[in-house]
Amino acid sequence: MQAIAERLQPIRHALGARTLVMGVLNTTPDSFYDGGRYAAFERALARAEQMLAEGADILDIGGESTRPGAEPVPEDEELRRTVPVIEAIATRYPQATISIDTTKSRVAELALQAGACIINDISGMTFDPRMAEVAAQAGALVVLMHIQGTPRTMQQNPHYTDVVAEVRDTLRAHAQRAEQAGIPRENIWLDPGIGFGKTVQHNLQLLRHLPTLKSLGYPILIGTSRKSFIGHLLGGLPPEERLEGTLATLALAVAWGADIVRVHDVQAAVRAVRIADALVRHSPNANDSLSLDRDSTPSDCDSFPSNRDSTPSDCDSFRLNRDSTPSDCNPFSMDRNQTTIDRKQP
Ligand code: HH2
């Protein structure tokens, strides 16, 4: 099997040139959207194949639901659900980039041995003190997410004085701890944790203020896919009817600086982010994002800064004011004051 550094090469190459799409594959019976669909081994493999064919850059394999109220899954059970699937995907599709969605260091360790090269830890490596050591020793890339509380309790009463500043500071601290543990900077991605101890308004504020999180200097991953805030904003739609809302969040997240999106619907998401990329990154050819933009005129180019890290003052013609406060700029004005939270879905 390839070394982890080699397995990470394809995504290192593509990162920044286009938005990477991470496809969700939960081998759980109870995940809020795909629970039970891919718990059987053959179904999980078929789903992996489908997501790769649809253009997934990364497959994120999870064996424990982290939906609000979820109880922890014993380590043995999580291993039983995830490791054989990872091993089989890595064998059948050696080019696939596989991520393990876990907070347990032993699960991460065995998943890396089975063929994963990314650890996606919703606790930002805080639930298991050995996680950072496992990641550092293996040379794995880590996704460090923000969560307030634990999945069991996080939606009981999410509270922040300034959600954007608090999430930014926590993510900065996660990254610093990771680097101190020996994980190189280029192996760290950050994620504000949409739906993890957040009200609808908290989620919206974090999305609008992605440039603040981006200013930490790490790639940003966003996981809005079919989450409950989308259902709330659309009058209570169930997860099955949240695709269009999800795609809207993806396009704006890309415009606001997201580098990786974690989604259930790979084909739809790939199509949406390619268009967003064409607008934001000047990469108009969906299949070759590094090709030259032969159709763009100089005036097209002048109207938008090619550097997405530029400050709003650099890009006066960019209509979305990336530093505006929620009250200035509320594209979701339908439900500005909504604070209700769904207890079953992130
Ligand atoms: N969301 C979920 C799980 N893992 N990881 C990251 N980095 N970011 C996220 O937003 C995120 C995540 C929840 O979605 P899902 O896996 O579909 O549901 P469940 O936790 O019920 O399995």
**The one catalytic residue among 227, 274, 281, 308:** 227
Q: Are 345 and 227 in contact (CB under 8 A)?
A: yes
Query: Residue 345: what pLDDT?
Result: 62
- Bridge partners of 119, per DSSP, are 100, 142
Distance, in Å, from the CA atom of 44 to the CA atom of 231, rounded to the nearest integer, reads 27
The closest-lying atom of ligand 1 relative to the alpha carbon of residue 143 is: 7
Beta strands in 192-266 (DSSP E): 221-222, 260-263
Query: Residue 33: what pLDDT?
Result: 95
Q: Are 125 and 131 in contact (CB under 8 A)?
A: yes
| CB 192 near ligand 1, within 6 Å | no
| CB 145 near ligand 1, within 6 Å | yes
From the number of C-beta atoms within 10 Å of its C-beta (0-12, 13-18, 19+), residue 149 rates as middle
**The one catalytic residue among 198, 226, 262, 322:** 262
Mutate to test the pocket of ligand 1, among 262, 264, 343, 344 (most ligand atoms within 8 A of CB): 262
Distance, in Å, from the CA atom of 51 to the CA atom of 172, rounded to the nearest integer, reads 32
pLDDT digits (tens, 9 = 90+) for 64-91: 999 998 999 999 999 999 999 999 999 9
| CB 205 near ligand 1, within 6 Å | no
Query: Residue 284: what pLDDT?
Result: 59
CA of 24 to the centre of ligand 1 (A): 8
CA of 168 to the centre of ligand 1 (A): 19
Domains of the chain by start residue, with CATH: 4-335 (3.20.20.20)
pLDDT digits (tens, 9 = 90+) for 285-320: 544 443 333 333 333 333 333 344 433 333 333 333
pTM of the model: 0.85
CA of 32 to the centre of ligand 1 (A): 9
Neighbours of 314 (CB within 10 A): 10
Query: Residue 319: what pLDDT?
Result: 34
Query: Residue 282: what pLDDT?
Result: 82
Distance, in Å, from the CA atom of 155 to the CA atom of 50, rounded to the nearest integer, reads 33
Kindly give the parts of the chain with pLDDT less than 70: 283-346
With a CB cutoff of 8 Å and minimum separation 6, the contacts of 306 are 281, 282
With a CB cutoff of 8 Å and minimum separation 6, the contacts of 185 are 175, 179, 218
Query: Which residue's alpha carbon is nearest to atom 12 within ligand 1?
Result: 122
